[in-house]
Amino acid sequence: MVAAMIRELGDSLQEALSAFGRYTLFGARLVAETPRALLRFGLVVEQVHNAGALSLVIIMLSGLFVGMVLGLQGFDLLQRFGSEESLGTAAALGLLKELGPVITALLFAGRAGTALASELGLMRATDQLAAIEMMAVDPVRRVVMPRFLGGVISMPLLAAIFSMIGLFGAQLVGVQLMGVDQGQFWSQMRAAVELNDVMEGVLKSVVFGVACSLVAVYEGYHSLPTAEGVGRATTRTVVISSVSVLLLDYMLTAVML
Amino acid sequence: MRKTRAIELGTGLFVLLGFAALFFLVTQITSREFGLGEGGFRLTAMFEQVGGLKPGAPVSMAGVTIGRVEAISYDFNEYRARVVIRVEPKYDRIPDDSDASILTAGLLGGQYLGIGPGASETFFKDGDRIEFTQSAIVLENLISKFLFSKAAEEQPAEEPAKESTP
């Protein structure tokens, strides 16, 4: 009984390790294919449209509301210390360094990641990938790469849009509703926020973009060719991307702070 | 054909918006003082106490930022802090008997280096040293000084009051 439990534990540990290894190998292959895939730019553009342009509305809407609630909460918190003028700084740093990249990545995993995974999974289930391979075309090169790159390119742009809209949301609530001085709001922010803070957010969103896209294409490409398999791949995409984004976020913050 | 065009239009719009947002964040949110670059000239000043002064803090004359603090180190020859500042090249007419003091912006604000102009006819050149400096004020020292002077004041003040009562 005990021996069986230990064996099971060892098996699942081995499985987790080899899953990590498969991810790494697949990621390395995608990186190696990147220069060649960038040459076929039309395919990438199409995927930037799918992953980025189609996620624009949900990102902007979420950004606006996150910014507005940040304005409200930040105002309430700062008012207790009598420093409402710092609202701009608080909102800008919060959005640029944390909320922008992280929430964008979570929304991206839900909106674009699932679409990628189920699309690739269905291609697998309906033997389209096998058909492409039959025509002596590498499906990773033709199908997976553009989708991966589309996600990687879209994420930093989406995060930047999110932060900008969020800042205007915070300004809307803080200045228009709560009566923080507009000049103070912007000038305090400008004095406190440095280029490094912006770059930290951009770097985070690039890393999250790679992680989310990798998870989505990996799970989709390796899904079981059944209806259930596609469903499971989609679920796993959301779960693994969200968890790894939050994990990576902590690690990146700890390194860069 | 029509569909491809719509895709291209949407993508173009999205990418443009994304880069516009990035540009906005980089230029409008930060104070972007990185245009200062390599130009300008350096001055050094020695302080007994630099307090919370940090590299990158502004150097100002009459409230106008004329440069930045470049480096702060401890000098074991003089047992004082050596502050190196870089002044923008257009401010080349600072009298060489000007004084430097470490001041605080607002009640809780960051510290900066203030330069008060002197009366000399010659001006600072690259590598010069500011001779007249005033250290940062440490709040604890200020409070203890205040308390000691208060205590010293009260003692003689009480004695004549006692004498006058009988």
- Per DSSP bridges, beta strands B111-116 and B99-104 are antiparallel
Contact, A78 vs A181, CB < 8 A?
Answer: no
Q: Report the pLDDT averaged over residues B64-90.
A: 88
CA closest to B108 among chain A residues: A83
- The per-residue pLDDT for A118 is 93
Question: Which comes out higher in pLDDT, residue A58 or A86?
Answer: A58
Q: Report the pLDDT averaged over residues B7-21.
A: 88
- The per-residue pLDDT for B108 is 61
Question: Which comes out higher in pLDDT, residue B25 or A213?
Answer: A213
Q: Is A56–B14 a contact, with Cβ atoms under 8 angstroms apart? A: yes
Tell me the C-alpha distance between A11 and A34, whole Å.
Answer: 34
- Which of A46, A160, A202 is nearest residue B7 as measured by Cβ atoms? A46
User: Which one of A44, A46, A47, A48 would you mutate to disrupt binding with B, by most B Cβ within 10 Å of its Cβ?
Assistant: A48
- The per-residue pLDDT for B34 is 47
Q: Could you tell me the CA-to-CA distances from A62 to A65, A68, A100, A103, A157 in Å, in that order?
A: 5, 10, 10, 9, 15
Is the ipTM higher than 0.85? The answer is: no
Question: Which comes out higher in pLDDT, residue B65 or A157?
Answer: A157
Question: Which comes out higher in pLDDT, residue B82 or B108?
Answer: B82
For residue B24, the chain A residues in CB contact (below 8 A) are: 164
DSSP letters spanning A96-128: IIIIHHHHHHHHHIIIIIHHHHHHHHHHHHTTH
CA closest to A193 among chain B residues: B30
Q: Could you tell me the CA-to-CA distances from A40 to A34, A49, B2 in Å, in that order?
A: 10, 15, 21
- The per-residue pLDDT for A151 is 92
Residue A257 has pLDDT above 80, yes or no: no
Return the structure tokens found at B94: 């600072």
Domain boundaries, chain B: 1-32, 38-143
Domain boundaries, chain A: 41-256
Q: Is B17–A161 a contact, with Cβ atoms under 8 angstroms apart? A: yes
Residue A6 has pLDDT above 60, yes or no: yes
CA closest to B14 among chain A residues: A53
pLDDT tens digits, one per residue of B120-147: 888 888 888 888 888 887 778 888 888 8
**Portion 167-196 of A in contact with B at CB < 8 A:** 167, 189-191, 193-195
- Which of A45, A167, A189 is nearest residue B8 as measured by Cβ atoms? A45
- The per-residue pLDDT for B35 is 47
User: Which one of A163, A164, A188, A200 would you mutate to disrupt binding with B, by most B Cβ within 10 Å of its Cβ?
Assistant: A164
Distance from CA of A112 to the nearest CA of B (A): 15
Question: Could you tell me the pLDDT band of residue B156, with boundaries at 50, 70 and 90?
Answer: low
pLDDT tens digits, one per residue of A109-152: 999 999 999 999 999 999 898 898 899 888 888 889 999 999 99
User: Which one of A54, A93, A168, A198 would you mutate to disrupt binding with B, by most B Cβ within 10 Å of its Cβ?
Assistant: A198
Tell me the C-alpha distance between B147 and B141, whole Å.
Answer: 10
pLDDT tens digits, one per residue of A67-93: 999 999 999 998 888 787 788 888 999
pLDDT tens digits, one per residue of A150-198: 999 999 999 999 999 999 999 999 888 888 888 778 878 887 888 888 9
Return the structure tokens found at A236: 């796993």
For residue B19, the chain A residues in CB contact (below 8 A) are: 157, 160
Contact, A248 vs A205, CB < 8 A?
Answer: no
For residue A88, the chain B residues in CB contact (below 8 A) are: none
Q: Report the pLDDT averaged over residues A25-53.
A: 87
pLDDT tens digits, one per residue of B36-64: 456 788 899 999 888 878 787 888 888 88
Q: Is A58 on the interface with B (CB under 8 A)?
A: no
Tell me the C-alpha distance between B117 and B72, whole Å.
Answer: 22
Mean of all residue pLDDT scores within chain B? 81
By percentage, how much of chain A surpasses pLDDT 70?
A: 100
Locate all alpha helices (DSSP H) within chain B, ordered by sequence.
2-24, 139-164
